[in-house]
Amino acid sequence: MTDQHPTEKFEQPPYPEQVQDVPGTTKQMDPQPDHGETTYKGSGKLAGKKAIITGGDSGIGRAVAIAFAREGADVLISYLNEDDDARDTAKLIEDAGRKAVLVSGDIREESHCQKIIDEAVAAFGKIDILVNNAAFQMSRKSLQEVSSEEWDRTFKTNIYPMFYLCKFAEKHMEPGSTVINTTSVNAYQPKSVLVAYAATKGAIQNFTVSMAQLWAEKGIRVNCVAPGPIWTPLIPSTFPPEEVSKFGENVPLKRAGQPAELAATYVLLAGNDSSYMTGATIQVTGGTPTI
């Protein structure tokens, strides 16, 4: 990426109004997100590492998968049912000369989380990096619009799998391994239209700190990343079209972030450069304050 004014680095709102079904797909988005396909350059920071990324088919997860592969890691992508997006991500991993493993299914199910770990160990022999990134949200103007089923789905997608996956992965992770959880700026500035989602993102930060303390003696570091408004399929599939068109305009940098702009943060937390960091949150918010 070339140096330039950060407000002008990528397209600014208004974006075209658009609607997708949940969970959304990359190819239907306008403008197309940038995951670092043509810009991310690796330098061997994760050479020989084996990684799991939930929600790795698109959005932030795809950008992280590209970066990890170009830094030398083999990657297992966990995703729900977005097969086309997952195959596109797998090709990008393989084009970097690394092994890609795809595992589809619902991470709300404890048994499926066990399957993810089992398939990673079968394919790689170990787990060095676990990225808990998959998430679900819906935008609702009234609490009465939030069904019990939706509330349940949000928590069971966003926080339960972190417990399941960490528990099943623990015996396969050696000292020096890392866990990276995706929280959100909503953990600091929760939005009234995202009551369930924001609550889970606060829970993720607390889970991260607790796990960092619990696993410190094991030498497993646990950190998280708090993105601001990032241009992913989750946005046109969960916000009204009029909100999509102005997504990100209220942050100081006046635009939505691109998935590629988070990749280096995950690489930092996955590698040895962050060896004295655990229980931390790195905010990538476009300037939205978190203090």
Tokens describing residue 37: 């396909």
> Do the Cβ atoms of 154 and 137 come closer than 8 Å?
yes
CA 27/CA 86 separation, integer angstroms? 12
Rounded distance, CA 194 to CA 67, Å? 30
First CA to last CA distance, the chain: 29
Task: Give the pairing of strands 50-54 and 74-79.
Answer: parallel
Task: Write the Ramachandran bin of 130: left for phi over 0, alpha for psi from -120 to 50, otherwise beta.
Answer: beta
Q: For residues 31 and 208, give the distance between their C-alpha atoms in angstroms, rounded to a whole number.
A: 33
Token pair for 259: 């998935």
Active-site residue, 197 included = yes
Question: If 0-12 CB within 10 Å is exposed, 13-18 middle and 19+ buried, where does residue 145 land?
Answer: exposed
Q: Single out the catalytic residue among 40, 79, 188, 197.
A: 197
Q: Is 104 exposed, middle or buried (0-12, 13-18, 19+ CB in 10 A)?
A: middle
Indicate which residues carry an active-site annotation: 197
